[in-house]
Amino acid sequence: MQYRRLGQSGLHVSILGLGTNAFGKRADYETSKQIIHHALDQGINFIDTANIYAGTESEKIIGQVLEGSRHNVVLATKAGLVRGAGVNERGSSRHHLMAELEGSLKRLKTDYVDLYQIHTFDPATPLEETLRTLEDMVRSGKVRYIGASNYFAWELMKAIGISERLGLNRFVSTQVSYSLADRTPEAELVPMCLDQGVGIIPYFPLAGGILSGKYSSSNQAPEGSRAQTDPSFGRFLNDKTLTLGEEVNKLSEELGCTPSVLSLAWLMHQPVISTVIVGAARAGQLVENSRSVALQLDAATLARLDTLSKPFRYGDPFALYRLP
């Protein structure tokens, strides 16, 4: 396994991280436990979850599995998206974040999280309130580092500016949809993160499975796939994305690897990537995807992938989670 600094912090994370959105949904407790143990055996030390994944089941499962081995992982969770019907059960106000952190700590069976991330920008809460709340969490010892997610470049830059002006801890990382099927971060977010030393953590690195080669048409959903378990996912399956998946698959065959491994390796070759989080509904997926760490891509291959995916630098992001 290879390790990189999380942004400009002193924290080192595995270049391949474990995303746990499937825990408690497509992966039951025993399967999730097996996946976590396989991740640790592969040298993966970064585990990412959120307070809303599978309700709260993802955090609960992780807490149970990691009892006694919590110190071996860099544990990241999030808060800020909608948790309930109450007017204060969403966003990044002090009221909401303080309550959510306590809930996450209890479910994760730990007294601190290594990386606490604001799940999305909250236009209804002053950034200073959010950042001072995060500062208090860090000073209390319950949070080690702070990160953002689903922030536009200007929102992230504004937050960093406030933190520097007030002498507060600043965001060390940001999560964003980023893949061969979504290169929109390269327009503004990537240059900003390069300039400010913020690490990027891509989610949907395989575009929900489109880059894994599992989808051959928009009408056929493989058993257990995201398109089958989440009918709304069908909006991503179109001629443009399916063609990209086919072309990536052809190139991976030439290189003797899977399209998933090739797609993940491409991300690892991009600037300011700290860790690439990949989800898994079974342990075998994680074992296969870990081969991306050792795959070195030459200039010619990178150029071909750039040409294939260049149309995906423009338009709307593949995924973006914002408060309603």
H or E segment and range at residue 306: helix 299-309
Q: Which of 29, 53, 112, 203 is an active site residue?
A: 53
Q: What is the mean pLDDT of residues 277-298?
A: 94
* Structure-block tokens of residue 253: 């065959």
Domain positions in the chain are 3-313
Contact 126, 96 (CB under 8 A): no
- Residue 53 annotated in active site: yes
CB 62 within 8 A of CB 23: yes
Name the percent of the chain lying above pLDDT 70.
93
| Selection from 262, 255, 267 nearest residue 199 by Cα | 267
Q: What is the pLDDT of residues 245-259, one digit of tens each?
A: 999 999 999 999 999
Q: Does domain 3-313 have CATH number 3.20.20.100?
A: yes
Which helix (H) or strand (E) covers residue 87, if one does? none
Which pLDDT band holds residue 134 (cuts at 50, 70, 90)? very high
Please work out, in degrees rounded to the nearest 5, the angle formed at the alpha carbon of residue 191 by the alpha carbons of 47 and 149: 35
Task: Assess whether pLDDT exceeds 60 at residue 226.
Answer: no
